[in-house]
Amino acid sequence: MKIRTLVLLSAAPAWPLAVAAVEQPEFQRLTQPENYVEVGAGWVSDESARFGRYNALYRDGLFAVLGLEYLVRPRFDDPSPLHWHVSARDLGLGNRQVSLRVGQQGRFGLEAGYRERRSRGGDGLVSVYNHRDPANLRLPTDWQPAANSAGMNLQLPVLHEFSLAQRRRETRLAASANPGERWQINAQVRQEDRDGTSLLAGLFGNSGGNPRAAFLPVPVDYRTRLFDLNLAYGDRQRQLRLAYHGSLFSNNEPQLTFANPFSTIGGWATGSGFPDGRGALALAPDNQFHQLSLAGTWQLRPALHLSGQVASGRMTQNEPFLAYTANPLLAQAVVQPLPIDSLDGRIDTTTVHLRLSGRNFTRLNWNLSYRLDDRDNRTELHEWVYVGGDSQVQDTSPASSRRRYNLPQDYRHQRLRLDGQWRLDERTRLGSTIQQSRTERSFSAREQVDETLLEFNARHRAGHRVQLGAQIHWADRDGSAYDGAAAFLANHDPAYTDTLAGQWANLPALRMYHLADRRRQRQAVSANLTPHEHWALGLEAARAVDDYRNSSIGLTESRQALLSTTLTWAPSNQLSAHAFYTWERLASDQAGFSFRGGANRLIDIADPERAWAVDHRDRIDTLGAGLQRYLNDGRIKLQLDWVHARAKAKQQVAAGTSLTAAALPTVSNRLDSVMLRASYRLSEPLSLHFRYWFERFRSDDWAFDGVGPDQLANIILPGETADNYRVHVASVSLRFRFQ
């Protein structure tokens, strides 16, 4: 007996350690970083700008698969754990990114990163301009002008082809430090260079009178620098953060001039058309935004928190103005010069967000919050006499409609909101919200808009297998008297508006939808069911109606309906599957009234048969399924995803007998996408990855189908087409894991 006791005691040192410790290989398996190098190749079957819009796979042919993850992380008990992380993704594609991080947790961190993203808007577009000088578009030397497209040769090779493609390159540097346990400093500098080509129309003449336009390849050469500096303090009761944010935008191509491909037509000044006529567009001006903010949260009592953020910012823009006209002949005729050389535009912003949040009743949670968004436009108001479309002689007569005043609009939005949530028991919760908001605007059809919102919701959990929810939302918006002519009168000279019957531009009955009286109702129900531990079913249904109850012209009503269901099945860690289906209906009704100007104006608006209406009916169905499976003791991983998305948009047009109208075709888009991913672990460090992706997209759109550059008489179009593609992508790569 004594010996047995001695035997047990002699062995004692070994067993506690053997149990308390974990075998090194097992520990390493669980904690080693997922470092790898991936090398491979892929293939794209067809060229498609739409397919490659954001994934950079817009060209057919081969591409490289290159990636790297390398994380050096000391063990958890290292006394000075300096970590490194190098990450490189999609190096073989146009969307590539590289980042390097180094730091010591709790002490400091440094980061440098580079990211490149490409977007593709379309290939094979055409313009009448050659691109030798992208900021000054010229016509071919042998260009034959005409009064409209019928007299022009708008065929290749007279036209020049171009692609809508842009590239964003972002460089990022960031640093953080913890000078004390409660303090943290973060700084970040980002620079994004964006270049490429976009598309805009270059107009000559008046848009409503006798316009002529040609689409232009517009050079994009932007640089945006973003600066962020944060100083944060935190203890158990309070956290504070003082922050500066700066955004400096510059455009290396602030203007675009272009030759007029049309011959001078009636109503244009002499010399406005080809060969001497020129136009100019002011492209995005340089601008800046600087903002200081103070954010904090304070635990006033154990169950009472005050949090908020206050920010003061300033937007400025002072790009030198272009002349009223780029046309030399018309420029000589300008008698009233620009009032200033640049806008010196400035908007001071003040934003406040405060929230008092309480949990100090056993069953009641509540929030009281206030939000202010104030934009004080400090830009000065000036008088301008513009030159219409680089084709009109400046008209400085007292009653000129060309005499305009810029409108530095102020905006102020305030919102007060109270949320409450009452827990009847552990399974049932009732919630309600009341919110009042007020929006004030200057130079607006409605100077003040008020909205009251009420919301009720309930949730009930029946055991562990059923969760039910319901929500009712009601909001009512109205405001001060609607004066649809307010901005028009402020924008024009009274000497002109006095000549206009009624002194309004927009039909007085029009109610702009963001200012109009509106009653909004929304109901939603949801259910999450777990009939079996391997199965989960989610159901959601919602319906919303916006009733613009006092709008007889404009948007009068919009409705949304949604049904959504998801099903997941996960019998084990080795196998899972899911499926989803979403049914959406978007409907809106708008009313209009067609009328002419001049002597016909008052005659037309007295004719009820000039009314028209459009009912919009959009239907979207999205369904998909996925499967994930591990085989052969985890050596093989299979993942399959399928999505079918179908959208149809219908416009049903009705018009009075004084007008003519015909039914529009349905616009439709259909997407089918299948992606299969498989990986096979060849050995402990080496795995083989295979990916196959098929996508098909079909669309019909009457605005583009069969509409070539010469379709319209007055507009030289770029030849955009509705998107249709069928693309296969396959790639295979080897991934080598290492420590």
Partner 1 sequence: MGRLMRSRFALVALAALSLTLTALANEASVQFPDHIANCTRCHGASEDDPVLAIFATPHAVLADSRTGMADQGCAACHGPSLDHARLPARAGGAEVEIAFHGDRKASTQVRNQACLTCHAGGDMMHWQGSVHDFDGMACVDCHRVHQQQDPALDPLQQAQACTSCHQAQHAEFHRPFAHPVHQGQMLCSDCHNPHGGAGPSDLHAMTLNESCYSCHADKRGPFLWEHQPVREDCTLCHQPHGSVHRDLLAQRTPFLCQQCHMSQFHPSTALSATGLPGASIPSGSQSMLGRDCMNCHAQVHGSNHPSGVGQTR
Site residues for partner 1, window 641-660 (CB under 8 A)? 643, 645, 647, 649, 651, 653, 655, 659-660
Residue 553 neighbours by CB under 8 Å, 6+ apart:
507, 509, 510, 511, 591, 592, 593
Check residue 128 for interaction with partner 1 (CB under 8 A): no
Choosing from 136, 191, 224, 666, the residue that interacts with partner 1 (CB under 8 A) is 224
Handedness of CA 134, 135, 139, 140 (dihedral sign): negative
Nearest to residue 377, comparing CAs of 436, 440, 427, 454? Answer: 440
Q: 141 or 525: whose CB is closer to partner 1?
A: 525
Check residue 377 for interaction with partner 1 (CB under 8 A): yes
**Do residues 393 and 330 lie in contact, with contact meaning Cβ atoms separated by under 8 Å?**
yes
Q: Write down the least CB distance from residue 540 to partner 1, Å.
A: 6
Q: 118 or 264: whose CB is closer to partner 1?
A: 118
Classify residue 216 by burial, with Cβ atoms within 10 Å: 0-12, 13-18, 19+: buried
Check residue 530 for interaction with partner 1 (CB under 8 A): no
**Residues in binding contact with partner 1, number by CB under 8 A:** 202
Could you give the CA distance from residue 414 to residue 451 in angstroms, rounded to a whole number?
Answer: 10
Check residue 14 for interaction with partner 1 (CB under 8 A): yes
**Do residues 675 and 707 lie in contact, with contact meaning Cβ atoms separated by under 8 Å?**
no
Check residue 518 for interaction with partner 1 (CB under 8 A): no
Q: 45 or 594: whose CB is closer to partner 1?
A: 594
Instruction: Note the maximum CA span of the chain.
Output: 123
Q: 141 or 567: whose CB is closer to partner 1?
A: 567
β-bridge partners, 472 = 456, 523
In this structure, how many other beta carbons lie within 10 angstroms of the beta carbon of residue 331? 15
Q: Write down the least CB distance from residue 87 to partner 1, Å.
A: 10
Choosing from 134, 196, 389, 479, the residue that interacts with partner 1 (CB under 8 A) is 389
Q: 43 or 702: whose CB is closer to partner 1?
A: 702
Strands (E), 444-553: 448-462, 466-479, 518-532, 535-547
With contacts defined by CB under 8 A, name the span among 136-144, 263-271, 470-478, 667-675 that binds partner 1. Answer: 667-675
Question: Distances from the Cα of 606 to the Cαs of 485, 588, 601, 609, 610, in angstroms?
Answer: 19, 26, 9, 9, 9
Alpha helices in 625-720 (DSSP H): none
Nearest to residue 690, comparing CAs of 643, 726, 731, 722? Answer: 731
Q: Write down the least CB distance from residue 141 to partner 1, Å.
A: 25
Q: Write down the least CB distance from residue 273 to partner 1, Å.
A: 17
Q: 17 or 141: whose CB is closer to partner 1?
A: 17
β-bridge partners, 535 = 532, 569
Q: 141 or 703: whose CB is closer to partner 1?
A: 703
Residues 259-298 touching partner 1, rule: CB under 8 A, are: 280-282, 284-285, 287, 289, 293, 295-297
Question: Distances from the Cα of 457 to the Cαs of 58, 460, 474, in angstroms?
Answer: 47, 10, 12
With contacts defined by CB under 8 A, name the span among 31-39, 257-265, 447-455, 687-695 that binds partner 1. Answer: 31-39
With contacts defined by CB under 8 A, name the span among 132-140, 352-360, 628-636, 728-736 that binds partner 1. Answer: 352-360
Over the window 57 to 96, marking each residue x when it contacts partner 1 by CB under 8 A and - when it does not, the resulting string is ----------------x-xxxxxxx-------------x-
Choosing from 174, 201, 678, 688, the residue that interacts with partner 1 (CB under 8 A) is 201
Residues 607-626 touching partner 1, rule: CB under 8 A, are: 612, 614, 616, 618, 620, 622, 624
Q: 307 or 480: whose CB is closer to partner 1?
A: 307
Choosing from 96, 120, 305, 735, the residue that interacts with partner 1 (CB under 8 A) is 305
Q: Write down the least CB distance from residue 275 to partner 1, Å.
A: 22
Q: Write down the least CB distance from residue 483 to partner 1, Å.
A: 14
Q: 29 or 534: whose CB is closer to partner 1?
A: 29
Check residue 512 for interaction with partner 1 (CB under 8 A): yes
Choosing from 1, 481, 599, 662, the residue that interacts with partner 1 (CB under 8 A) is 662
Check residue 708 for interaction with partner 1 (CB under 8 A): yes
Over the window 306 to 345, marking each residue x when it contacts partner 1 by CB under 8 A and - when it does not, the resulting string is -x-x-x---xxx-x-xxxxx------------x----x-x
Residues 543-562 touching partner 1, rule: CB under 8 A, are: 553-555, 562
Give first-to-last CA distance, the chain, whole Å. 52
Residue 251 neighbours by CB under 8 Å, 6+ apart:
221, 222, 223, 283, 284, 285, 286
Could you give the CA distance from residue 186 to residue 163 in angstroms, rounded to a whole number?
Answer: 40
Q: Write down the least CB distance from residue 657 to partner 1, Å.
A: 12
Place of tokens 């998801």: 566
Place of tokens 């094979």: 124
Classify residue 322 by burial, with Cβ atoms within 10 Å: 0-12, 13-18, 19+: middle
Residues 450-479 touching partner 1, rule: CB under 8 A, are: 464
Q: Write down the least CB distance from residue 734 to partner 1, Å.
A: 19
With contacts defined by CB under 8 A, name the span among 128-136, 269-277, 304-312, 729-737 that binds partner 1. Answer: 304-312
Could you give the CA distance from residue 108 to residue 179 in angstroms, rounded to a whole number?
Answer: 9
Structure tokens at 553: 């012209």
Helix, strand or coil, per DSSP, at residue 685? coil
Q: 133 or 341: whose CB is closer to partner 1?
A: 341
Residue 129 is given by DSSP the state S
Could you give the CA distance from residue 539 to residue 657 in angstroms, rounded to a whole number?
Answer: 47
Check residue 179 for interaction with partner 1 (CB under 8 A): no
Structure tokens at 159: 């036209």
Residues 572-601 touching partner 1, rule: CB under 8 A, are: 573, 580, 582, 584, 586, 588, 590, 592-597, 601
Choosing from 373, 455, 476, 607, the residue that interacts with partner 1 (CB under 8 A) is 373
Choosing from 441, 477, 518, 691, the residue that interacts with partner 1 (CB under 8 A) is 441
In this structure, how many other beta carbons lie within 10 angstroms of the beta carbon of residue 602? 11
Check residue 521 for interaction with partner 1 (CB under 8 A): no
Check residue 386 for interaction with partner 1 (CB under 8 A): yes
Q: Report residue 154: phi and psi, to 5°.
A: -105, 55
Q: Write down the least CB distance from residue 293 to partner 1, Å.
A: 7
Q: 140 or 708: whose CB is closer to partner 1?
A: 708
Handedness of CA 542, 548, 552, 556 (dihedral sign): negative
Check residue 676 for interaction with partner 1 (CB under 8 A): no
Residues 129-158 touching partner 1, rule: CB under 8 A, are: 148-150
Residues 478-497 touching partner 1, rule: CB under 8 A, are: 487
Check residue 677 for interaction with partner 1 (CB under 8 A): no
Check residue 703 for interaction with partner 1 (CB under 8 A): yes
Structure tokens at 585: 């209906």
Classify residue 657 by burial, with Cβ atoms within 10 Å: 0-12, 13-18, 19+: exposed
Q: 141 or 355: whose CB is closer to partner 1?
A: 355
Strands (E), 27-144: 35-44, 61-72, 82-89, 97-104, 108-127, 136-137
Could you give the CA distance from residue 196 to residue 641 in angstroms, rounded to a whole number?
Answer: 33
